[in-house]
Amino acid sequence: MSHDHPTPPEVNRKLVIALVVVFLGYGLSLGLGWPQAATRMIVEAESHASASAHHDSGADQHKAPAHSEESASETTSPAEDGHAEEERSKAVEDEQAGADPTGRASSEEAHAGHSEGAEATSHSVTTHPPLWMVVPFVALLLIIAVFPLLPQTEHWWESNLHRFYVAAALAAVTLLYYLVVYEHPVEGHWPAHYVSQPAAGLNWGNAWAVFANAIFSEFIPFIVLLFSLYTISGGIRIEGDLRATPLVNSIIIFVGAVLASFVGTTGAAMLLIRLLLDTNSERKHVAHTVVFFIFAVCNCGGCLLPTGDPPLFLGYLRGVPFLWTLQLWKEWAFVNIALIVIYFLWDTFWFYPHEQKRDLRRDAAEVRRLRVRGLWPNLPLMIGVVLGVALLDPSKPFPGTEIHPPLYLREIFQLGMVALSLTFGSYENRVANRFNYAAILEVAALFFGIFITMQPPLQILHVEGPRLGLTQPWQFFWATGALGSFLDNAPTYVVFFETARTLGGHDLVPPGTGVAHDLLVAVSLGAVFMGANTYIGNGPNFMVRAIAEKRGIKMPSFFGYMVYSGCILLPLFVLVTIVFLS
């Protein structure tokens, strides 16, 4: 079933109209002060978390219980998991003794958008769902892996609507568990950190906290960024049909790996995947080339700057200096050059010789020189998206000011770049790219369910992570990478960043209350590199796979892809461990 037809212009016009409606709605919310109020909550939470971190590092004492409306509205960060269990329990008991006997926060205004039973606390939640609650998440992964392979479900699964039905059903199971069964506190992170307490009867507060964590805090920023880079890059036409030799393909992959750190793995992948597919259109053996493209461009190339991959950007938001990641250039060069060499040798001595002679002759005859169209206005708009991500975070003030951007201004700005691209960019370039929204809709449909069903595993990890006994860089590298391969690598990075923070040490990044330098290196490399281990380890992986399949390329199944990563990436990561982390 082919979805490789360009989107009609009227669809783009309707999308622009829809975006204008979104902009007007956001403008109305600004007039009502909702995003500004949410930002104030975020800033207060960040300030309180920073003060708590400094307080804990300086003295072994706890904050007095909240009695006033102002103090009751304060929120905290989960960075304090390193306290001994008895200290945590004592502090919670002391705070509850002085708190409002109803167990509810005294200021509903300070917790607008939170559940009615939300309660601020100076410590993270120490309970988590039972291990069997990972079943919906695992079931969704298995369905993604198996349904495309079964004759009974293969064609049914090609519909993005059907994918959404499955993802939403498993998400509903997860939310229903928190609504009906789970009777313990839940940490909420939207718009700022708070703790939702269970209530008698249906636990709407807990269900809302889980839903908001997944959708409003994680999914919306994730999908808006992917959608923006995907749509804008679709207007840039890198045109040409180069000879699909092993050397040419290696150069394309290497260029993408370099670009990935600067325009993001999504931006680099969307810029170059169509050129790679056009160049290899005459060859029969192409899937392995796309797999190596995913390895390098969608993942391993993105570790030099925070704009390269979402986990590193989250580190930047937690105080890691913007240019700190440039010192990972040795690991970047080691892994990416190794991947290029492996690909070049494999393609040269195995796949290329097995191409049919007539296909190679046609490939040599149908060469078209390289041309780039659509850089204006799309390249400045892509740069605008990257700058918007870096500068419009509500937890950080505008450079040179003390003014914090309102919540979701960053996403609105990104969507504004999309509207400008669709309005002023060339539709002919999109036709030439055979651009449509099928790939991003597939990502949205599946990751809607993934982000919700992965909340129980993440909550288990938040509680149990500090108890795993991790102390060495290589342990953090493999723990972050192994879980980031199946959970989204961005929240996994945060969990092990905070776990490493509890260990202290010397040469902290950032200084004072940060993570030991060698542990931060390990967490950063594990999150970025091992996102390549599965199709769901990083958002661009799925998008590139979907685009390749829309071009008629038979990509490996979920488990087939893991055979590639297991045989190529895992031995390479063992070498990374020996050379850089031991």
More confident residue, 344 or 510: 344
- In this structure, is residue 531 part of a structural domain? no
Residue 507 pLDDT greater than 90, yes or no: no
Report pLDDT for 96: 40
Helix (H) or strand (E) holding 508: strand 508-509
Question: What Cα–Cα distance (Å) separates residue 248 from each residue in 42, 79, 251, 360?
Answer: 48, 47, 5, 14
- In this structure, is residue 491 part of a structural domain? no
- Among 131-135, 367-371, 496-500, the range scoring the smallest mean pLDDT is 496-500
Report pLDDT for 500: 87
pTM score of the predicted model:
0.80
Report pLDDT for 279: 94
Report pLDDT for 53: 57
Q: Tens digits of per-residue pLDDT, 518-574?
A: 999 999 999 999 999 999 888 899 889 989 998 899 999 999 999 999 999 999 999
- In this structure, is residue 282 part of a structural domain? no
- In this structure, is residue 203 part of a structural domain? yes
Q: Tens digits of per-residue pLDDT, 151-190?
A: 899 899 999 999 999 999 999 999 999 999 999 999 998 9
Mean pLDDT of the chain: 85
> For the residues 469-495, what does the mean pLDDT come to?
88
Q: What counts of helices (H) and strands (E) characterise the chain?
A: 23, 7
Report pLDDT for 58: 55
Ranges 37-46, 76-85, 486-495, 570-579, most confident: 570-579
Amino acid code (one letter) for 559: F
Question: Largest Cα–Cα distance of the chain, in whole Å?
Answer: 82
Ranges 93-102, 432-441, 555-564, most confident: 555-564
Residue 84 pLDDT greater than 50, yes or no: no
Confidence of residue 127 (pLDDT cuts 50, 70, 90): very high
- Spacing of C-alpha 266 from chain mean position: 11
More confident residue, 345 or 546: 345
> For the residues 116-141, what does the mean pLDDT come to?
75
- In this structure, is residue 578 part of a structural domain? no
Report pLDDT for 236: 93
Rounded CA separation 474/470 (Å): 9
> For the chain, how many structural domains are there in total?
1
Residue 95 pLDDT greater than 50, yes or no: no
> For the residues 397-407, what does the mean pLDDT come to?
92
> For the residues 315-338, what does the mean pLDDT come to?
91
Output Rg (C-alpha) for the chain, integer angstroms: 24
Report pLDDT for 245: 96
- Listed as own residue / partner, the contacts of 565-572 with beta carbons closer than 8 Å and 24 or more positions apart are 565/295, 565/532, 565/533, 565/534, 566/533, 568/295, 568/339, 568/342, 569/295, 569/529, 569/530, 569/532, 569/533, 570/533, 572/335, 572/338, 572/339
- In this structure, is residue 122 part of a structural domain? yes
> For the residues 462-484, what does the mean pLDDT come to?
89
Report pLDDT for 48: 78
Question: What Cα–Cα distance (Å) separates residue 465 from each residue in 103, 471, 505?
Answer: 28, 12, 18
Report pLDDT for 70: 36
- In this structure, is residue 416 part of a structural domain? no
Confidence of residue 80 (pLDDT cuts 50, 70, 90): very low
Report pLDDT for 165: 97
Nearest C-alpha neighbor of 497 from the set 291, 242, 317, 308: 317
> For the residues 30-37, what does the mean pLDDT come to?
97
Rounded CA separation 470/227 (Å): 36
Question: What Cα–Cα distance (Å) separates residue 2 from each residue in 9, 74, 158, 281?
Answer: 19, 53, 9, 16
Confidence of residue 3 (pLDDT cuts 50, 70, 90): low
Report pLDDT for 489: 82
Q: How would DSSP label each residue in 354-417?
A: GS-HHHHHHHHHT-EEEEEE-HHHHHHHHHHHHHHHHH--TTSPPTTSSPPPPTTHHHHHHHHH
Report pLDDT for 124: 65
Residue 381 pLDDT greater than 70, yes or no: yes
Helix (H) or strand (E) holding 539: helix 539-550
Q: Dihedral of the CA atoms 50, 53, 54, 57 (nearest 10)?
A: -170
- In this structure, is residue 62 part of a structural domain? yes
More confident residue, 503 or 75: 503
Rounded CA separation 577/529 (Å): 12
Nearest C-alpha neighbor of 170 from the set 119, 198, 135: 135
Q: How many other CB atoms sit within 10 Å of the CB of residue 466? A: 22
Confidence of residue 199 (pLDDT cuts 50, 70, 90): confident
Residue 4 pLDDT greater than 50, yes or no: yes
- Among 112-116, 185-189, 316-320, the range scoring the smallest mean pLDDT is 112-116
Domain that residue 30 falls in: 11-219
